[in-house]
């Protein structure tokens, strides 16, 4: 069997040397949580095999248990290449939810959070020849942890089977003692300048150098001392900059070097898209030109692998499918996507809204866990030009009472400001859907199918932000929040379901189901006709790209085959906002 997911897992920050550990691992569920007490990390007879990096619930994992226990143990053997004389890092792209890693029986690190990356220094635990990696992963069922649309103690009609265990690539890489941990750049169109921020693993007085390249030739460069800090900020002036945009996703190569006083060097490869995001007079601007968002809600679930696509081609096909259907943007809903998805969006010109998976019970655990994980995710992904908006909360999930409980509103506003502290180059949507408190855009979720029409509700909320958005009486904006002058977007609409043949009874969609494809097409055209002439709207997000489990409101089926033809859907989507 070929190695699963062999592609380099972090394309925005690449090193030449690395060792992919994906593949067949030894595996054991631990239903009574005895593994630590019995010291499984020192040696254990594992009864099963699992294919990493596919989650336990998926068919591709070989386990395919949609009701797994809460504690899981993984183990594999590896040899470190003999020419790796530097510090060795163990990287796990994502594992849900609490990860503890052991090398040769010695614990090398812990990580909480099901969506953010982890990196552990394992140099001190390595031995000559074969090494043993053991990973213990514990999930939970409580909504006090960020879990997105994974069913927990309760299951809504829009929740799905859980995702448990390792679900992104595991790999080793050698690094210099002083090395790059993250990068971030911001482009200013007026001056043609690019600010590049380099974050290192520790404070130093080393020299950081950045080379901007196109077609192998160096276009601009800059160098600067870290000045006894752990980060350095450099500015490059770019002659005749070629801009990144959906219609022309031009990318430049970046090479980043750090060299300390002993001559030790860390070199990483990256890339950058030169683009500037802004707003003016209630309108969205990309590179100072008007931008109308034609977005689609994308849950990010894949046949066979569930959270994890079977291969890189499946990721690229989803990006290409989204563009072929007429959309210029994907709102990745309640899932932090694999970096390979962001890579293909960068390459092919698809805009992305990145949204934090929600918890649903406000608690100290939710505050601390979500905050730490969200900030880590921003640092991982803020170099990708495709991402144009950060969305830390959706529909007040987990902050249900922010209108009456100041601590919940403070949490939302605090996360908005922390997001801005890490990144000034994108929009922040504080709470997508309703109950606006703070953020750069005013976004609303409104579907057909209620007693008052979509158009009437939109008009009412836009004219009176404190009025209800839907039948659950959630208001458009909280008391004291200022929405005047903000761009307005309808970031959930459509949601029209269709499934041929006999239904099972638990199917979910918004409104009544059309009986034929002709009725489905007419319903889609009706919603488009309502949205299109509303001049105040700066875009929309259509629910949703694919069917997922009981949700049958996808524009295509879960296997990505068509409902309406691609050409019919594309004509409907491209016709919106052109009046």
pTM of the model: 0.97
Distances (CA, A) of 432 to 73, 269, 390: 37, 35, 10
pLDDT at 451: 53
pLDDT of 501 above 90: no
Mean pLDDT of the chain: 96
pLDDT for residue 102 is more than 90: yes
Q: Measuring CA to CA, which residue among 114, 9, 11 is closest to residue 373? A: 114
CA–CA dist 459, 430 (Å, integer): 22
Q: Per mean pLDDT, which range of 48-62, 255-269, 307-321, 422-436 is the poorest?
A: 255-269
Peptide bond preceding 196: is omega within 30 degrees of 0, i.e. cis?
no
Mean pLDDT of 281-292: 97
Averaged pLDDT for residues 296-303: 98
Examine the pLDDT at 262 and tell me if it is beyond 90: no
Q: Please say if the pLDDT value at position 454 is more than 90.
A: no
pLDDT in tens, 247-259: 999 999 999 999 9
Model confidence at 2: pLDDT above 70: yes
Q: What are the pLDDT digits (tens) for 380-403?
A: 999 999 999 999 999 999 999 999
Is the Cβ–Cβ distance between 378 and 371 less than 8 Å? Answer: no
Q: Among 34, 13, 366, which residue's Cα sits nearest to residue 196?
A: 13
Rounded distance between C-alpha atoms, residue 119 and residue 414, angstroms: 27
CA dihedral 316, 317, 319, 323 (to 10 degrees): 140
Q: Is the pLDDT of residue 566 over 90?
A: yes
Q: Classify 289 as helix, strand or coil.
A: strand
Give tens-digit pLDDT for 30-48: 999 999 999 999 999 999 9
Torsion over CA of 474, 478, 482 and 485, rounded to 10 degrees?
0
Write out pLDDT tens, residues 197-217: 999 999 999 999 999 999 999
DSSP E strand boundaries for 157-216: 165-166, 170-175, 180-188, 193-204, 207-214
pLDDT confidence band for 271 (50 / 70 / 90): very high
Burial class (CB in 10 A: 0-12, 13-18, 19+), 508: middle
DSSP state, residue 91: E
3-class SS of residue 572: helix
CB 402 within 8 A of CB 395: no
- Structure tokens belonging to residue 120: 């552990």
**pLDDT tens for residues 504-524?**
888 999 988 999 999 999 999
- What is the SS3 assignment for 215-227? CCEEEEEEEEECC
**Residue 278 β-bridge partners:** 285
């Amino acid at each position: 069997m070929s190695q699963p997911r062999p592609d380099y897992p972090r394309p925005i920050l690449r090193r030449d040397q690395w060792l992919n550990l994906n593949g067949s691992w030894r595996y054991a569920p631990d239903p009574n949580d005895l593994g630590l007490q019995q010291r499984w990390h020192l040696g254990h007879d594992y009864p099963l095999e699992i294919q990493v990096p596919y989650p336990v619930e998926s068919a591709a994992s070989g386990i395919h248990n949609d009701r797994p226990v809460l504690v899981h143990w993984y183990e594999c053997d590896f040899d470190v290449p003999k020419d790796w004389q530097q510090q060795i890092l163990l990287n796990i792209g994502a594992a849900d939810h609490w990860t503890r890693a052991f090398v040769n029986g010695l614990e090398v690190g812990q990580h909480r959070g099901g969506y953010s990356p982890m990196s552990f220094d394992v140099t001190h635990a390595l031995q000559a020849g074969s090494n043993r990696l053991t990973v213990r992963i514990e999930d939970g069922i409580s909504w006090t942890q960020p879990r997105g649309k994974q069913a927990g103690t309760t299951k809504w009609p829009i929740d799905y089977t859980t995702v448990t265990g390792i679900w992104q690539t595991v790999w080793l890489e050698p690094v210099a003692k002083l090395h790059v941990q993250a990068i971030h750049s911001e482009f200013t169109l007026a001056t043609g300048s690019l600010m590049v921020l380099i974050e290192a693993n520790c404070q130093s007085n080393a020299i950081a150098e950045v080379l901007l390249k196109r077609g192998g030739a160096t276009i601009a460069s800059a160098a600067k001392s870290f000045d006894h800090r752990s980060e350095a900020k450099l500015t490059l002036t770019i002659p005749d900059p070629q801009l990144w945009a959906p219609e022309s996703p031009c990318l430049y190569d970046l090479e980043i070097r750090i060299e300390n006083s002993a001559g030790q060097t860390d070199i990483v490869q990256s890339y950058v898209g030169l683009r500037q995001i802004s707003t003016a007079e209630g309108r969205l601007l990309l590179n100072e030109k008007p931008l109308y968002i034609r977005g689609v809600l994308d849950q990010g679930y894949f046949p066979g692998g569930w959270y994890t696509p079977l291969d890189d081609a499946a990721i690229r096909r989803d990006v290409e499918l989204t563009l072929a259907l007429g959309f210029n943007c994907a709102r990745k809903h309640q899932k932090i996507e694999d970096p390979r998805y962001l890579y293909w969006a960068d390459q092919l010109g698809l805009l992305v809204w990145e949204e934090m998976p929600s918890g649903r019970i406000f608690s100290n655990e939710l505050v601390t866990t979500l905050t730490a994980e969200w900030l880590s995710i921003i640092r991982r992904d803020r170099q990708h030009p495709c991402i144009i908006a950060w969305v830390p909360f959706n529909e007040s999930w987990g902050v249900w009472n922010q209108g009456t409980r100041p601590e919940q509103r403070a949490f939302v506003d605090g996360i908005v400001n922390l997001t801005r502290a890490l990144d000034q180059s994108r929009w922040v949507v504080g709470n997508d859907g309703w109950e606006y408190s703070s953020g750069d855009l005013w976004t609303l979720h409104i579907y057909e199918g209620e007693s008052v029409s979509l158009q009437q509700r939109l008009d009412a909320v836009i004219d009176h932000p404190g009025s209800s958005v839907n039948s659950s009486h959630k208001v458009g904006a909280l008391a004291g929040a200022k929405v005047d002058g903000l761009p307005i977007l309808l970031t959930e609409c459509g949601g029209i379901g269709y499934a041929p043949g006999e239904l099972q009874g638990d199917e979910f969609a918004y409104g009544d189901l059309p009986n034929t494809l002709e009725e489905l097409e007419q319903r889609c055209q009706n919603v488009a006709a309502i949205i299109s002439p509303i001049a105040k709207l700066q875009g929309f997000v259509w629910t949703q790209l694919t069917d997922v489990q009981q949700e049958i409101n996808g524009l295509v089926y879960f296997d990505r085959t068509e409902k309406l033809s691609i050409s019919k859907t594309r004509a409907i989507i491209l016709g919106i906002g052109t009046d």
